[in-house]
Structure 1
Amino acid sequence: MRIGFIGFGEVGSTLARDLQAAAHASIAAFDIAFATAGSKASRHAAEREVVVVGSAPDLAARCDLVFHSVTAGSSLEAAKAAADGLRHAPWFVDVNSVSPGTKRATAEAVTAAGGRYVEAAVMASIPPKGIRTPVLLGGPHAEAFLPIARDLGMAVEVFSAEVGGASSVKMCRSILIKGMEALLTEGMLTARRYGVEKQVLASLTDTIDTDWSQLARYMMSRALVHGRRRAEEVREVVRTIEEAGLEPMQSPATALRQDWAADRGLELTQDVLATKDLATLVDAVLAKAVK
């Protein structure tokens, strides 16, 4: 099977790595960032030794299976850009974290162009499980794609024959996870400024028995490294809430904090971003945040 990726960031490059390790070696990729030689996507492509393709339709035209893994904000437009390459009816697996409405619009565009659209809701962070990360499938082609996905090593379940249901699970989860990242970032920075972070963490542990220090460090670091992408996802969360007929209140602020974290992350060294010590991480962020 000829496998391609539209978008070669963390998700695309990690899946490609695992597919190559399982001897699914015919892998190609397109990413707009390939135009910049030193970009992270370009480095990933070189490391994975994938075939670099010059456009989305060219990538789609040469593949039997296309993983669609771009940023949330560009998901629909990137799928439309690939339309001319879908006439041979490849599988088009949309792993982007977007609202049910955006998934349905993408499905319509892909189907009209000839592709077999499969909704894929990735239900956890791709690291560390990679291709074994739990995924919910949706859409009329989900059942037919299920054995193919399992043969590739994916941990998949069919959620619904209707497009949008699987993503509603993912987006509702994101309300909570991305919101927790934002709240822990804001809470730990403020507590550190007042010198009460140890007491706050102890109180949290008394309330919910977990290692809050490591949880806060992990969630803060994810926002600092991936905040821009997460902010786009949260804006799709806002769309999801609105599609449900509700007024989003917390999530717009979450998107702002995720963007803020991304800006701070650009100012930190890789050693700081990778630290296992919460105090080291918080102090480094405060040094950039407090003027």
Structure 2
Amino acid sequence: METIHIGILGYGEVGRIFAAGLQSVSGVGALTAWDRKLTDPASADADVLRAAAGHAGVTLGDGIVALCDQATLIISAVTASSTLEVAQQAALYIRPGSVFLDLNSASPGTKQQAAAVIEAAGAHYVEAGVMTSVPPYGIAVPMLLGGAQAEALAQTLRGWGMNVQPVAQRIGVASAVKMCRSIMIKGLEALVVESYATARHYGVEQLVLPTLAETFPQIDWSAQGAYFFSRVVQHGKRRAEEMREAARTVREAGVAPLMASAIADKQDWMATLAAQGLFADISPKAPWQDYADRLLAQFSPD
């Protein structure tokens, strides 16, 4: 690919960051973004997306059909639960020979299904395992790539300042790495929320945290707790969807996903409380105690 027209499917946090980072890169002929929320132009969500795009100077397309017809590189940055559905929609209109880069946090089996429909349409599917939070890295966030075209695409992306590493030609390897890591990271978040809030209830947090520091002295457990609480409150819904895909990954391996499923439930529980406004007036940089106290006040007996 020489001059590349990029189409970004999904204009949420990740889509916005990638759109902003790639729109002025040398070799990109044009960049268009699209999000299904734009199908209802009168909705508040659509207004937010249009305002964000206007502020960033990003062009919002006229729909998935036009985006797929124009783009030679399509980047899918939707929610985990929409991974396959969006690939199926794109396959109906994608240009043969174009590349579909799937950033979504989905199981190897889901990625393999998505790859099958894209490649049946004559395009190339490359999976990406995004290995940490996109902010503050932006488009330089570490990513693992998989697929027959992973190495060729990696050369282009590196030229744009992206941090990508091809790991396999077989679809599913990169996503397996991502999902196994997610079980640990999102699991730690869920454990911290539950452990710290319980310790706070019994008034023993000043005894519990030092014992954690003795075992893992390289971690500032108070600061890490604050970060974990804030991330779950802000992104619990997305994390819950990812963990359901992680549970699918475990199930595909023939193992009962008891822990991954419980982590998804915990993340979803916090997301529901956040959506109800329980933490609305708590700063993302607040200490973990503020979040724990709000939880305890909500559920403690009168």
Q: Provide the TM-score with structure 1 as the length reference.
A: 0.94
Q: Percent identity?
A: 42
Alignment map for 1:1-291 (pairs within 5 Å): 1-20=4-23, 22=25, 24=28, 26-34=30-38, 35=40, 37-39=43-45, 40-209=48-217, 210-266=219-275, 267-268=277-278, 272-290=282-300
Q: Which amino acid aligns with 1:16?
A: A
Distance 1:8 1:198, change over 3 A: same
Q: Which moves more between the two structures, 265-274 or 175-184?
A: 265-274
Bigger mean CA offset, 253-262 vs 16-25: 16-25
What SS does the aligned partner of 2:106 have? coil
SS at match of 1:4: strand
Work out the CA distance in 1 between the residues paired with 2:208 and 2:24: 44
Following superposition, which runs of at least 4 residues in structure 1 exceed 6 angstroms of deviation?
none
Q: What amino acid is aligned across from residue 44 of structure 2 in structure 1?
A: G
Q: CA RMSD in A?
A: 1.8
Mapped to 1, the partners of 2:70 and 2:95 lie a distance apart of: 11
Query: Contact (CA 8 Å) 1:272, 1:284: kept in 2 or not?
Result: no
Structure 1, 281-290 or 143-152: larger mean CA deviation:
281-290
**Shift in Å, 1:278:** 1.9
Contact 1:217 1:278 in 2 (8 A): yes
Aligned counterparts of 1:282 and 1:123: Cα–Cα separation in 2? 28
Is the contact between residue 98 and residue 237 of structure 1 (CA under 8 Å) also seen in structure 2? yes
Query: Deviation at 1:269?
Result: 5.3
Question: Do the aligned partners of 1:273 and 1:281 also contact (CA within 8 Å) in 2?
Answer: no
Partner Cα separation in structure 2 for residue 190 and residue 137 of structure 1: 40
Q: Distance in 2 between matches of 1:259 and 1:279?
A: 20
1:151-188 deviations in Å (ceiling 9; x for gaps): 12110011001110011100000110111111111111
Distance 1:252 1:88, change over 3 A: same
Letter in 1 for 2:103: V
Contact 2:68/2:95 (8 A) holds in 1:
no
Asked if structure 2 preserves the Cα contact closer than 8 Å seen for 1:69 and 1:94, the reply is: yes
- For these two proteins, the number of residue pairs brought into alignment is 291
**Structure 2 unmatched runs, 5+:** none
Gaps of 5+ in 1: none
TM-score normalised by length of structure 2: 0.91
Work out the CA distance in 1 between the residues paired with 2:206 and 2:49.
39
Distance 1:215 1:109, change over 3 A: same
SS at match of 1:103: helix
Q: Residues 263, 137 of structure 1: CA spacing in aligned structure 2 closer, same or farther, 3 A cutoff? A: same
Distance 1:38 1:48, change over 3 A: farther
